[in-house]
Chain A
Amino acid sequence: MTTGSSFLELVSVQKSFGQTLVVKDFSLTVEKGEFISFLGPSGCGKTTLLRMIAGFETTSAGAIRMAGVDVTGKPPRERQIGMVFQAYALFPAMNVFDNIAFGLKIAKWNRRQIADRVAEMLSLTQLEGLSHRFPFELSGGQQQRVALARALALRPQILLLDEPLSALDAKIRVSLREEIRQLQRKLGLTTIFVTHDQEEALSMSDRIVVLDKGRAEQIATPHQLYNAPASPFIAEFVGKLNRLTMVRGAPHTGELDFDGLKVTANSSLHGGHEGARLIFGLRPEAIAFGEGPAGANRLSAIVEDVDFLGSILRLKLRVGNEILFMDQFNNRRNLIPERQAQVEVYFMPEDLMLLDESAGTA
C-alpha cells in the first residue's frame, strides 16, 4: 500500500502496558531524508514510540508504514532499520571489524563485499586503524561511532537513534552530534532521534515532536517550537522562560498591569475583559539593558544574582515582587553588574507570549 510521498507514517498509533496507556493516538508523517527528534521528559513515551517503529514493541492500535509498506506486525529484522542505542550495545566478544560486519554476514554478503563496506564505514565514521580493537579498548565516543557504522553498514531505510549521546561527556556530545547530523545529511537518511536534551533536539532536527504523557504536544521546526510554542508546557519545557502573571488594564490599547507597572502586549492581545488575569511567557534573551526603542516596555529592576555561564551572562532580576531572568551575551568590554545594583531594562511588546488566557478575573 502506497500513501503519498511520506516515507514513514505513524497512523493513530497507541500503546498500553496493562491498564496504562503510554502512547495515545499518535500520528506523524516523515519525509525521506528528514531528521525528526522526539523530545520530552522521562516517561513521556518517546522511547516506546521509537521501539514501536523498530519493532521491539508491538502497537496496541494504529499502523506504521515505511516506504509505503505496512510494517506494523513485522519483526525488527524485516524492517530494514539501523538502530543506535544509548548503551552502545556493541557485541563485546567481537572486534570493531566484526561488529560492523555483523549485519552484512547475516545478510550473506561475500567476504570481499564485506571488507569493502566495512572499510567504507570505518572511513565515514573516522575509525580507520581501529578495526582490530575490541569494544572495551575504545572510548565512549569511539564506541558510539562503531555503533553508528554498524547501523549504517546495511544501508537501512531509516536510522533510529535512542539517546545515543546521553552516556558521553559534554564535549564529545557536541562534536558527535555535529558528526551525526553531517553524516545524515550526506547520506540523505531518514532519521528519528530520541532525546530529553532540548539543546540536542534544537540543534540537530528538521522537525521536533514534543511529547508529554504519551501525546504529541507540538510537531514543528526548532525555530517555530521555540518562538511560537503551542502550549504552556512546551514554552516552559523548551528553553528557559519567565512566567509572568499580568492583569488586563485598558483592553483597547492592550495595556497590562505588571506588579503595579504598566506594560503593553502586541496588538493581537487588544480586547478582552478588563481585570482578567493573563499568564505570559518571556524569554530571558528578550530582555536587554537600557531604555530600548520607542514602544518598548521599560522596567527598573534590582540585580539579585549573576550567573556567569561562559558565553552567556544570566541575571536574576527582581521587579517589584516578580523575579525575571535575563540573558546577555558575554562581552569582555562590559562590566558585570553588581548584586543589589539597580538597572534599567526593557523588552518589546511582541516578545510577550500569551500562555494562558483562562486564569480568571483578578
Chain B
Amino acid sequence: MAPLKPQPLAAWAIFGIAAGFFTIPLIATVIFSLSMKRNGWSFEAYRIVLSDSSFIAAFGYSLAQAIAAVLISTLLIVPAAYWVRLYLPAMKQWVEFITLLPLVIPSIILVFGYLRLYNSASWLPLTSNARSTDALLSFGYVTLAMPYLYRTIDAGLRAMDVRTLTEAAQSLGAGPLNILIRVILPCLRGSILNGAFLTLAIVMGEFTLASLLDRPALGPYLQLIGANRAYEPAALAVIAFSLTWFCMGFFQYFSNWRRGV
C-alpha cells in the first residue's frame, strides 16, 4: 500500500474554513459592538453595559450561584464517585446513567417539576421566599452541572491508584474522612477546577431555571437587553466571551501549577 501523501493545501483549507466559521461572527460582533457612535469606533456600548447597576447585580448573583453550585457539587460528587470507584464498582454504570439524566431531561421539565414539588403550598415550600428560592436554584444548577462535574472527577480518580492510596492512608491510621480530605481531594484539584469551569460556563448563561423561578440572574438580564437594545447585547456577548476565556486561562494556570498530580 502506498504511503499516504501529506495534503498541506487541503488541510489548511479545512482549517481556514473552520476557523472562519468561528471567528468571522465573533469579529463581526466585536465590530458591531464598537459601532454605537456614528462618527467612529467607540466603547460606548461597553460603557453603558458596565455602568448599568442591573448588569453588575445580575453578574454578581450568577457568579455567587455558580460558586454555590460548585461547592455543593464537589461535596456531593467527590465522595460519591470515590465510594463507587472503591467499594461499589458494579454500581458504576448505574451512577453514570443517573448523572447523564440532566442532559436528556430539558431544564423546562426540571423547573416545572421543582415548582410542582416545592411550591408555597407543598410540604417543602422552597419557593415561598427569595432566599429559599435561591437555594432551590443552586440545587437546580448542581443538577445541570452533574454530568460534567461527575465525569471530570471520575476521570481524575481513574488517573490515580485510588485503592492503593486509600490502603496506604489506612495503614497509617487514617479514617475515611481524613483519606478523602487529605489524600483524595488534593489529587483531584485539577479535575475539580476543570468541572468548576464548566459549571461556571453553564450557570453564567443559564436562562430557563432562573427565569421561571424569577431570580435576577445574568441569563434573564441578557435576554431582556437583547430584546430591547441594539449595540449593548453585542458588547455583552463579547464580555461573556472574554470572561469565558479568562476562566479557561485561570484553569490552565492552576492545573499546570498542581505539581505533578
- A: residues with CB less than 8 A from B are 54-56, 75-77, 81-83, 85, 87, 89-94, 102-103, 106-107, 134-137, 147, 150-151, 154, 160
CA distance A113 to B218 in the complex (A): 53
Q: Does B189 contact A (CB under 8 A)?
A: yes
A153 to chain B, nearest CB (A): 8
CA distance A319 to B178 in the complex (A): 66
CA distance A85 to B182 in the complex (A): 19
Contact B173 A106 (CB under 8 A): yes
Contact partners of A137 in chain B: CB under 8 A: 260
Contact A151 B171 (CB under 8 A): yes
Contact B167 A85 (CB under 8 A): yes
* Among listed B30-38, B157-165, B191-199, B202-210, interface-contacting one: B157-165
Q: Number of contacting residues on B, CB 8 A?
A: 23
Q: Does B106 contact A (CB under 8 A)?
A: no
Contact partners of B259 in chain A: CB under 8 A: 93, 134, 136
Interface of chain B, main secondary structure = helix
Contact partners of B172 in chain A: CB under 8 A: 77, 102-103, 106, 150-151, 154
Contact B173 A103 (CB under 8 A): yes
Contact A87 B161 (CB under 8 A): yes
Contact A93 B171 (CB under 8 A): no
Contact partners of B178 in chain A: CB under 8 A: 106
Contact A91 B165 (CB under 8 A): yes
B165 to chain A, nearest CB (A): 6
CA distance A85 to B173 in the complex (A): 16
Contact partners of A87 in chain B: CB under 8 A: 161, 164
CA distance A204 to B258 in the complex (A): 39
List 10 A–B pairs whose Cβ atoms lie within 8 Å, in order of A's numbering: A76-B167, A85-B164, A89-B165, A89-B168, A102-B172, A102-B174, A102-B182, A137-B260, A150-B172, A154-B173
CA distance A288 to B169 in the complex (A): 53
CA distance A280 to B259 in the complex (A): 59
B131 to chain A, nearest CB (A): 36
A58 to chain B, nearest CB (A): 14
B205 to chain A, nearest CB (A): 32
When A and B form their complex, which 10 residue pairs have the shortest distance between CB atoms, in order from nearest?
A: A103-B172, A136-B260, A93-B186, A89-B168, A83-B171, A76-B170, A89-B164, A106-B173, A77-B173, A106-B174
Contact B165 A135 (CB under 8 A): no
CA distance A150 to B167 in the complex (A): 13
B88 to chain A, nearest CB (A): 17
